[in-house]
Amino acid sequence: MIPTAQQRNGRPAGLLARTAGCVGAAVLVCFLIAASLVVWFFSHMQQVQRSRDRDAHAAVIAAAEQLRIRLLDANSDGTLAGQEIDVALNHKPSIRSLRREKTRTILVVWIADSGWAQCYSYTALPTGAVSSAPLKVCPPSSTLIRPGP
């Protein structure tokens, strides 16, 4: 009878094969864990960015409503003067346009917060009412007008 390799060395011949299989499985598991961590990290960062965008958008909406309320208080006498607009805007130069007509005053204001910005149009009526509406496109800043009397 001829001795086999297992019998000659006194060790099982499949030990090397089993060790290589275990190392390969460990490498595969490590790779899958690393890939999972990368996927989790990018999806988490995307969630964080969406949350920040939602918060910034909500802050702009809230600021627009607060400005509408301040303009409503300023327009209580039916006349929205330049000084009243400046005070309502906290003296910030965010006016994009101001148009005075006999029956209304239309004010377009740029409102920004944490990377989110939007223009709002405010319409003040002689009755003391003030309405607001978000605009899809802001007028160019070259039309910037400081409120007059």
Q: Which residue has the higher pLDDT, 15 or 107?
A: 107
CA dihedral (33, 38, 41, 46) positive or negative? negative
Query: pLDDT tens-digit profile of 6-50?
Result: 555 555 657 777 888 889 999 999 999 999 999 999 999 999 989
- The pLDDT-based confidence of 4 (bands split at 50, 70, 90) is low
Amino acid 37: pLDDT: 94
Q: Taking the CB of residue 106, how many other CB atoms lie within 10 A of it?
A: 13
Amino acid 8: pLDDT: 52
Token reading at 18: 């089993």
Amino acid 21: pLDDT: 86
Q: Do 130 and 75 meet the contact criterion of CB atoms below 8 Å apart? A: yes
* Strand order across the beta sheet in which 95-100 lies: 95-100, 105-113, 116-124, 130-134
Mean pLDDT of 90-104: 85
Query: pLDDT tens-digit profile of 121-136?
Result: 999 999 989 999 999 9
- The pLDDT-based confidence of 144 (bands split at 50, 70, 90) is very low
pTM for the whole structure = 0.66
Query: pLDDT tens-digit profile of 53-94?
Result: 888 889 899 999 999 999 999 998 888 888 888 888 887 778
Mean pLDDT of 109-114: 84
Amino acid 30: pLDDT: 93
